[in-house]
Structure 1
Amino acid sequence: MSLESVKAHFKQWNRERDIMEFEASSATVDLAAEAIGCIPARIAKTLSFRGAGEAAILVVAAGDAKIDNKKFRETYSFKARMLSPDEVLEQTGHAIGGVCPFGLKNDLEVYLDVSMQRFETLFPACGSSNSAMELTLDELEQYSFAKGWVDICKGWKDEEKLAEEALQNT
């Protein structure tokens, strides 16, 4: 059902056929990266949090990024509290492992984290635990109807710096 809502969402841009479906699970960042054949950081994971009101908010971030609670609180003026699996399904219409900012059950605010801006394309899930789609940053922003870009993650800059240093030392 959820994959179907995402396909319906992408019909407005004639992109529903671009959704990749895998025989193996892509329910985690590592499994998705393995199924696609890319580094885990290029997986665009969608995280769901309790919003200030009844509705959840979604944050899409790079696969290697982690929420920085201080930055989150400074940005949204409330504490980062992730939804339970049942709440995620209720709010988004997608089960854990296939959560994405497309074909949502409810009209939720979507934000994109700057951790993704170091890549030309990323791979968000498409409503099921064995699907994904390659999108540019502009496409991700457009198709998710994102409210804007935020800087609320940590960890990824450290990895990027380590990779740059490793390249310089070779």
Structure 2
Amino acid sequence: MSKAPTAHPRFSEALSDLALDDVEIRAFPDATRTAAQAAEAIGCELSQIVKSLVFEADGEPVLVLMDGASRVDVGLVRAELGAGTVSRAGADLVRRATGYAIGGVPPFGHVSRMRVLADRGLLAHGTVWAAAGTPHTVFALAPGELIAHAGGSVVDVREQTAGVP
């Protein structure tokens, strides 16, 4: 366990700008690129992991924050945005929009502003964990605080499976 210097420098700066200097950053020797890898390394539930996923909606990047146990329903994202087309962003767009590589994208501290949708399911936990700008670092925060710092709108964009409300 270590402090902010192990996080990506841009993300460390974002934490400082938001007066979040006391946020715990954990670094792992092995990458935590997937939600399952992160949950295992941290020792938390998969649903406590925040996936920061970039989509392209009518040519514009949009960030969707989703719990690690769920999938994004692209149709719900399209409806929420009133967009004609929505698809997962490619690695180049992710890096251009956020300044980070896939697997290390944090929920805030990006190089550009974009619309942020946060699935309501994140609020079911007292603490959630998200990438701190690298595939080897994560940080913990209360979900409401994380969503507020990300400038996110709380929405319902989780893919529903048969028999699950």
TM-score interval, normalised by the smaller of the two chains: 0.7 to 0.9
1:75 shift after superposition: 1.1
1:150 shift after superposition: 1.0
Tell me the residue number matched to 2:42. Answer: 36
Tell me the residue number matched to 1:20. Answer: 26
CA distance 1:144–1:100, shift in 2 (3 Å): same
1:17 shift after superposition: 5.6
Matched-pair contact (CA < 8 Å) for 2:58–2:86: no
Tell me the residue number matched to 1:119. Answer: 125
Tell me the residue number matched to 1:99. Answer: 105
TM-score (norm 1): 0.83
RMSD: 2.2
1:77 shift after superposition: 2.0
State the distance in 1 between where 2:50 and 2:82 align. Answer: 24
State the distance in 2 between where 1:51 and 1:15 align. Answer: 34
Q: Alpha-carbon deviations, 1:28-50, whole Å to 9, x = none?
A: 00110111111211100011011
Tell me the residue number matched to 2:155. Answer: 150
1:90 shift after superposition: 1.1
State the distance in 2 between where 1:118 and 1:157 align. Answer: 21
Q: How does 1:33-112 map to 2 (within 5 A)?
A: 33-53=39-59, 55-78=60-83, 79-112=85-118
Q: Which moved more, 1:57-66 or 1:133-142?
A: 133-142
Matched-pair contact (CA < 8 Å) for 1:40–1:63: yes
Q: How many pairs are equivalent?
A: 158
For structure 2, the 5+ residue unaligned runs are: 1-6
**Which has the larger share of helix?**
1
CA distance 1:17–1:118, shift in 2 (3 Å): closer
For structure 1, the 5+ residue unaligned runs are: 162-170
Residue identity in the other structure for 2:63 = L
State the distance in 2 between where 1:50 and 1:132 align. Answer: 25
